[in-house]
C-alpha cells in the first residue's frame, strides 16, 4: 500500500491547472510533519506570538497529509497563487472572481 504522502504528491502533481488566460499558476505545499505541527501547537497553547497551529488530530488530512482524519478521509492543503491575477485584484473578496 502506498504512503498517503506519496499518494497526495502524485495527486497534486497530476492536478495542475491547465494553461488559462491567468497565465502561470503556482502551487505550494502546505504540508507539516506531525513533529513540526505539535511544536507549533504547543507554542500556541503557551500564548507565544506568531504560532497558530491546531492540534495534530485536527490537522490530519489537512496540513498533515500522511494521516487520515477521524472520519477516515485523506486530504491535503496547498497554497495556490495566480501571479497575473494578483497584479490587478487586491480588494477584499476579489478571490471570488477565480471561482466563476
Q: Which of 92, 94, 75, 82 is nearest to 7 (CA)?
A: 75
Whole-structure pTM over 0.75, yes or no? no
What would the pLDDT profile of 8-63 be if each residue is shown by its tens digit? 566 656 655 455 667 787 888 888 999 999 999 999 999 999 999 999 999 999 99
Phi and psi at residue 20, in whole multiples of 5°? Answer: -135, 180
User: What does the DSSP 8-state code read for residue 57?
Assistant: H
Q: Which of 65, 64, 58, 63 is nearest to 79 (CA)?
A: 63
Amino acid at each position: 500500500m502506498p504512503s498517503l504522502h506519496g499518494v497526495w504528491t502524485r495527486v497534486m502533481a497530476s492536478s495542475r491547472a491547465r494553461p488559462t488566460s491567468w497565465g502561470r499558476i503556482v502551487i505550494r505545499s502546505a504540508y507539516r510533519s506531525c513533529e513540526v505541527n505539535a511544536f507549533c501547537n504547543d507554542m500556541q497553547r503557551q500564548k507565544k506570538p506568531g504560532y497558530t497551529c491546531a492540534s495534530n488530530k485536527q490537522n490530519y488530512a489537512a496540513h498533515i497529509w500522511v494521516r487520515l482524519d477521524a472520519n477516515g478521509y485523506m486530504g491535503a492543503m496547498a497554497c495556490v497563487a495566480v501571479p497575473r491575477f494578483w497584479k490587478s485584484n487586491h480588494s477584499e473578496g476579489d478571490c471570488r472572481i477565480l471561482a466563476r
